[in-house]
Amino acid sequence: MEKLKYALFTGCTAKESTPEQMMSTLAVAKKLGIELVELTEASCCGASHLQDYDDFLSLVLNARNIAYAENHGLTMVTICNTCQLNTAMTKHRLDHNAELKAKVNAKLAEVGLEYKGTSQITHFLYAIIDDFGLDKIKEMVTTPLSQFNIAPFYGCHNIRPSELQNESHKSPESAYKPTSLDDLIVACGGVNVDYEEKNKCCGFHAELQAPRTAAILTGNAVAGAMDANADWMVTPCPLCHLKLDTQTHHASIAIGREVSLPVLHMQQMVGLALGCTPAELGLNHHVTKVDFV
Amino acid sequence: MDTIKSQQVTFKVFRFNEETDYLPYYNTYTLDVTHEEVVLDILNRIKWDHDGSLSYRRSCRHGICGVCSIKVNGKGILACKSRLFDLVDVFGSELVIEPLSTKRVIKDLIIDKKDFWDKHAAVKPYLVSDIVEHPASEHLVSPHDAEKLLEADYCIQCGACHYSCPALAINEEFIGPAAFAAAYRFSADVRDDASLERLHIVNGEAQGVWDCVKCMECAEVCPKEVNPIEKITKLHNMVFEANIAKNNVATRHAVGFAHSIEKHGLLDEGELVRYSEGNIGVLKHVPVALKMFAKGKIVLPWNMPKADKLDEIKKLIKSSSTVKF
């Protein structure tokens, strides 16, 4: 197989509040022999909020990020569900609206860039599944996670709206019964846990504006995983991770029940199965202690 | 003609009668279903062949009246539009049939939609316009202006998004995606004069658009592809454009992204929280922030990373911004 190579859009949290996500992404890519060219010029995607204030500005900034991936001639890989949604949504809107694309390109021309629509955009989870292949992951597992019940937490912005998301997937993912993360857990030798909240919202995006709503959603998610007998949770989204890892105190108060589980980034789970060390994967950067390794 | 294909499917059907039952229960039926059948056909077969007391709403059978909306394995659907085989493809051969909201059940699959209609009515879902009683010509809407509705007028008030919205399930004051889509539909209409009034309603704290959790479920579930979250985003934009955005945590949270990107290219997470909450409000986040700091999750201001070619980003923000706060 030809070596896989992507343009990596890290997003902001990987540089700030989830350093372990950056570390584990690079560690896993190295193990899998995937080359990641970091888009150091990329800006914040606006995280689904900038567009509420200024939709056009959000489009221009996201189109600029994609243009840099296009200049490398590479598929853009994201490691944050919200980066994925915002970027893929921008691509969809520009690719389906020539007038809008021209308006955005008129702005990008001011800085010598052009959005062409030539790069695909996919989340690292789907790059692993679609391009690398779960069978190959299975073969490479050195430390099967067979003693663990693992609760997948998909994160809204990787699975909804499915019509948009499935534009970049090889096999379609249902928003109501997603399977990608479950399949990855199984490929890593773990036992995937089924529970109602696995495809639900963690509340992250309303944390400041609607703290009670956000805390209850977080509490429900962790409680659902605990009641399904999970040893830990795993998510492809650093924003879900922040919410589930750092906010369980508020969540416990909000739902009137003590809830807490270790939460791993998808990359950390794969890394553990492939024999990466806890230090390489940044497991010491979690607020809820990862006490099983 | 295709050969009719069939397969066996087990249906677990939610049952509850508020007049006689203390708790809800499920009845199970195993039926052979054909590839031509929709969920409503199965409900009819259960009622007509097995248990005449099963209650559900049905009317047009053409996906336009919106009354037969229910949930199958947690997914909001129109019973008359959803093919069994499509559902079996996703969920397997055991399907759980439930009302849109189990807490609002009157009988079986029939719910009391009063809260839905109250929210709908609250956004003035009608044209408000001075009528010239004897107009000299028709009041035409150009195709260009009609497109501005973004097909929000396709909503059939089935309630699938309303009863799938996680924000609404927790915060009953929240107006919800269907009513927001209706608010947008009339506020975007060139003939309407009540846009500002509606924007004040959707701008309200707790009830307004700011409490949306952005889960995208309303876009996913809508059987008419109305895409309510798109309209919710538009309403946010219209609130800023109309210059009625209040100076509060929610509006500052949206604006803060632009400030941060202009300064660093990236989001300054700590500064966004401080700017959104204010110097006093931010204090409630200190306990969590300290725990995060201890784990290396807080970047101090002087170590804040910056995007390469920040001058490009600054230039684009200057030239592409369309709104001020």
Which band of pLDDT confidence, cut at 50, 70 and 90, is reported for residue B2? low
The reply to whether B227 touches chain A by the CB within 8 Å rule is yes
A33 and A157 share a domain?
no
Structural domain tally of chain B?
3
Partner-chain residue, chosen from A19, A52, A250, that has the shortest CB–CB distance to B237:
A52
Show which of residues 2-31 on chain B sit within 8 Å of chain A, judged by CB atoms: none
Q: Strand pairing of B6-15 and B94-98?
A: parallel
Residue A254 counted as domain residue: yes
* CATH for B174: 1.10.1060.10
Query: Cβ of B31: how many Cβ atoms within 10 Å?
Result: 18
Strand order in the sheet with A35-38: A35-38, A5-9, A76-78, A121-123
Structural domain tally of chain A?
2
Which band of pLDDT confidence, cut at 50, 70 and 90, is reported for residue B4? confident
Partner-chain residue, chosen from B213, B255, B287, that has the shortest CB–CB distance to A205:
B213
Residue A129 counted as domain residue: no
The stretches of A110-171 forming alpha helices (DSSP H) are 124-126, 134-140, 156-159, 162-165
Partner-chain residue, chosen from A43, A57, A212, that has the shortest CB–CB distance to B307:
A43
Question: What backbone torsions phi and psi does residue A111 show, to the nearest 5 degrees?
Answer: -115, 20
A88 and A212 share a domain?
no
Show which of residues 61-90 on chain A sit within 8 Å of chain B, judged by CB atoms: 61, 64, 85
Q: What is the pLDDT of residues B123-149, one digit of tens each?
A: 999 999 988 889 999 888 999 999 999
Q: What is the pLDDT of residues B155-195, one digit of tens each?
A: 999 999 999 999 999 999 999 999 999 999 999 999 999 99
A272 and A147 share a domain?
yes
Q: Over its length of 293 residues, how does chain A's per-residue pLDDT go in tens digits?
A: 689 999 999 999 999 999 999 999 999 999 999 999 999 999 999 999 999 999 999 999 999 999 999 999 999 999 999 999 999 999 999 999 999 999 999 999 999 999 999 999 999 999 999 999 999 999 999 999 999 999 999 999 999 999 999 999 998 999 999 999 999 999 999 999 999 999 999 999 999 999 999 999 999 999 999 999 999 999 999 999 999 999 999 999 999 999 999 999 999 999 999 999 999 999 999 999 999 98
Which of A196, A208, A250 to substitute to test the interface with B, most B CBs within 10 Å? A208
Sign of CA dihedral B288, B294, B299, B301: positive
Expressed as residue numbers, the domain containing B34 is 6-111
Partner-chain residue, chosen from A17, A49, A160, that has the shortest CB–CB distance to B219:
A160
A116 and A189 share a domain?
no
Residue B325 counted as domain residue: no
Specify whether the CB–CB gap between A188 and B142 falls below 8 A.
Answer: no
A273 and A157 share a domain?
yes
Last residue of a domain, one of A123, A146, A175: A123
Residue B211: exposure state from Cβ atoms within 10 A (0-12, 13-18, ≥19): buried
B169 and B265 share a domain?
no
Residue A111 counted as domain residue: yes
A149 and A226 share a domain?
yes
Nearest to B45 by CA among B55, B57, B31, B56: B31
Give me the residue label for tokens 């108060």: A253
* CATH for A89: 1.20.1050.140
Expressed as residue numbers, the domain containing A44 is 5-123
Give me the residue label for tokens 């996680």: B166
B219 and B253 share a domain?
no
> Looking at chain A, which residue has its C-alpha nearest residue B298?
A17
Distance (Å, whole) CA A55 – CA B235: 11
A96 and A196 share a domain?
no
